[in-house]
Amino acid sequence: MSMSQIDRYFEHHGPAYKWYATGTIMVATISVVLSTTIVNVAIPAVMGAFGISSVQAQWISTGFLAAMTATMLLADWADRAFGMRLTMNVSMAIFLFGSVVGGFAPNETILTLARVVQGAAAGIVQPLAMIMLFKVFPPDKRGAAMGIYGVGVVLAPALGPWIGGVLMDAFNWRFVFYLGLPFAGIAILLSNLFLPGREEKGPLPAFDFVGVAILSVFLAVLLSTLSSAQRLGWDSNTILLGFVVSIVAALAFIGWEMHTKKPMLDMRLFANFAFSSASLVSFIMGAGLFGSTYLLPVFVQQIQGMTPTQAGLLLMPSGFAMLFVFPIAGRLSDRMAPAIMIAVGMAIFAWSSWLMSASDVNTAFWTLAWWTVISRVGLGLVFPAISSGSLKVLPRHLLGQGSGAVNFIRQLGGAFGVNLLTVFIERRTIMHADAFAATQTSDNSTTMEFLREVAGLVRASGLPENQLLPTAASFLGQSVVAQATNAAFQDGFLVVFGIFLLALLPTWFMWRARSPAS
């Protein structure tokens, strides 16, 4: 029996090879994770640069997540067709191209397309990392490996937003696109040294072009429909048609994958009840995690007036908290039932979101930072457990498919989380603004006192008498909008709280599915 390429690497490098392979995929993942999170700090600046609304701007984040989601299921096929090394090299080269185009984008359309290109490459890289870890570590060490790998992965969101904020304040928002370039270049170099080529002989495995096309239609149509619904009206013909097309595409994708001989997403995975439960937890976690990660930098810049550097600094302590939690959680996930760790982590994240729902313009920087630290402690417990727990229950021949599927489902949740929370906050802002404005009448003594005080201040600055009342009324209007926006963000954090509480139900199913085997 011929020796596999990975066995030959172990023979050449010794037991240390598993760490060389882990380091290689860690650097590659850092470059793509940087781009997943860092751009959120730049959203307010991009809105100002191109004169676009928050719903248009969120496509810079959602476009990346949607493309990432669509390509995640390709990782297993690409690994079998071209080998880990070539797949990683091509993916990182495409990612480099998208990053450069994003940095030079002349308008929001090109910028969004660049983010789609970046996301398409990133979607292949992350499942490859999990596949490689499962190839070089024995089953009883995989949880610990996920924990150590996670340390590198969380360094990116810990330091990235702060470094991106510094670059924005020193130069401009375009430089955040260049931050991942050095890591991508190093990843290509290391891939050629430590990642195996194609193992399988013979012709390339069949590619599910139809499945990819249907999935892309589903994601593009549904996310764009959700984004446009507020502007066009939820009951407009265009929006209703979009929802119909999305439902048909989703059903067509499931039907196609169940009956094609070479499915991109093997539906046999979901016959395993423990894996199905873990997948549902992953979807909910993705929605809450990416939604809250999008909300926080935008909130502190729009409501509290923080600079991009300050917004990045706010996220840094939470990243270092994850550095501490991840290795411990990884080791625990090899010894404890994953469902227990997931339930505890989800409850902690939900508690953090509940605390965040009380934040306003007066909430102190370190209070917000501490609440964010709490959320990331919860996430640090969930991530290794959901990654190893969902794959432990699968036979070896489905590991590649399972890795792609669980990442795909988490990213799908993330794409929906960002999109729906943005739409939700826009709707709630309008609702709160209407409610607040209705109370601003001449019968409201607080309002009249406010107008008199503002008029007195502007009179002292030398403004003519005939402009005092219009100026005071304009300031009142701005105050109403600011209060309405703050209230809408508070509602958004409450929704995230509810999402994570909801995840406890499938976690319980996951526990019940595992208990007979324990």
Does 296 map to a domain?
yes
* Cβ partners under 8 Å of residue 440, min gap 6: 447, 476, 480
Q: For the residues 304-321, what does the mean pLDDT come to?
A: 77
Same structural domain for residues 367 and 319? yes
Distances (CA, A) of 318 to 181, 359, 371: 24, 17, 9
| Boundary residue ending a domain (227, 243, 261) | 261
Same structural domain for residues 117 and 240? no
CB atoms within 10 A of CB 442: 8
What is the structure's pLDDT at 252? Answer: 92
What is the structure's pLDDT at 142? Answer: 66
Mean residue pLDDT of the chain comes to 78
Out of 243-247, 294-298, 467-471, 500-504, pick the least confident: 467-471
Listing DSSP states for 165-177 in one string gives HHHHHHS-GGGGG
Give the integer Cα–Cα distance in Å for 515 and 338: 11
Does 512 map to a domain?
yes
What is the structure's pLDDT at 515? Answer: 43
| For helices 399-438 and 273-302, angle between their N-to-C axes, nearest 10 degrees | 40
Does 439 map to a domain?
no
Domains in the chain, number:
2
> pLDDT tens across 395-453, in order?
666 766 777 677 778 878 877 787 788 778 888 888 888 777 777 666 666 767 766 66
> pLDDT tens across 344-386, in order?
888 898 899 899 888 887 888 888 888 888 888 888 788 777 7
Same structural domain for residues 182 and 241? no
> pLDDT tens across 113-125, in order?
888 899 889 888 8
Same structural domain for residues 34 and 98? yes
> Is 176 in contact with 164 (CB distance < 8 Å)?
yes
| Boundary residue ending a domain (238, 261, 284) | 261
Distances (CA, A) of 477 to 235, 362, 463, 483: 30, 20, 19, 10
Residues constituting the chain: 518
Same structural domain for residues 239 and 315? no
Give the integer Cα–Cα distance in Å for 230 and 217: 21
Does 446 map to a domain?
no
Q: Which of 6-15, 276-285, 331-340, 370-379 has the highest mean pLDDT?
A: 370-379
Same structural domain for residues 347 and 214? no
What is the structure's pLDDT at 2? Answer: 55
Q: Which tokens belong to 26?
A: 């860690």
SS3 for 359-410 is: CCCCCCHHHHHHHHHHHHHHHHHHHHHHHHHHHHCCCHHHHHHHHHHHHHHH
349-354 long-range contacts, Cβ below 8 Å, gap at least 24? 349/288, 349/289, 349/374, 349/375, 349/378, 349/379, 349/382, 349/500, 350/378, 350/497, 350/500, 350/501, 351/378, 352/378, 353/288, 353/292, 353/493, 353/494, 353/496, 353/497, 353/500, 354/493, 354/494, 354/497
Same structural domain for residues 44 and 173? yes
What is the structure's pLDDT at 151? Answer: 66
| Boundary residue ending a domain (240, 261, 282) | 261
Same structural domain for residues 136 and 12? yes
Distances (CA, A) of 427 to 309, 343, 491, 492: 29, 31, 11, 11
Q: What domain range is 86 assigned to?
A: 5-196+262-432+484-517
Give the integer Cα–Cα distance in Å for 4 and 23: 21
Does 201 map to a domain?
no
For the cut 80, the answer to whether the pLDDT of residue 39 exceeds it is no
> pLDDT tens across 169-215, in order?
777 778 888 877 888 889 899 888 888 877 777 677 777 888 888 88
User: Given CA atoms 150, 151, 153, 158 in this order, what sign does their dihedral have?
Assistant: positive
What is the structure's pLDDT at 518? Answer: 38
Same structural domain for residues 155 and 122? yes
- Residue 273: exposure state from Cβ atoms within 10 A (0-12, 13-18, ≥19): middle
> Is 27 in contact with 187 (CB distance < 8 Å)?
yes
Does 219 map to a domain?
yes
Same structural domain for residues 324 and 397? yes
Q: For the residues 77-87, what does the mean pLDDT come to?
A: 84
* Cβ partners under 8 Å of residue 303, min gap 6: 360, 361, 482, 485, 486, 489
> Is 164 in contact with 38 (CB distance < 8 Å)?
yes
> pLDDT tens across 440-455, in order?
666 666 767 766 666 6
What is the structure's pLDDT at 475? Answer: 62
Does 462 map to a domain?
no
Same structural domain for residues 125 and 191? yes
For the cut 50, the answer to whether the pLDDT of residue 516 exceeds it is no
Residue 476: pLDDT band by 50, 70, 90 thresholds? low
Give the integer Cα–Cα distance in Å for 226 and 234: 9
The counts of H helices and E strands in the chain are: 18, 0
| For helices 338-356 and 365-392, angle between their N-to-C axes, nearest 10 degrees | 160
CATH number reported for the structural domain that contains residue 142 in this entry: 1.20.1250.20
For the cut 50, the answer to whether the pLDDT of residue 1 exceeds it is no
What is the structure's pLDDT at 97? Answer: 92
Reported pTM: 0.72
Same structural domain for residues 221 and 279? no
Q: For the residues 337-349, what does the mean pLDDT come to?
A: 83
Residue 517: pLDDT band by 50, 70, 90 thresholds? very low
Does 225 map to a domain?
yes
Q: Which tokens belong to 504?
A: 């406890």
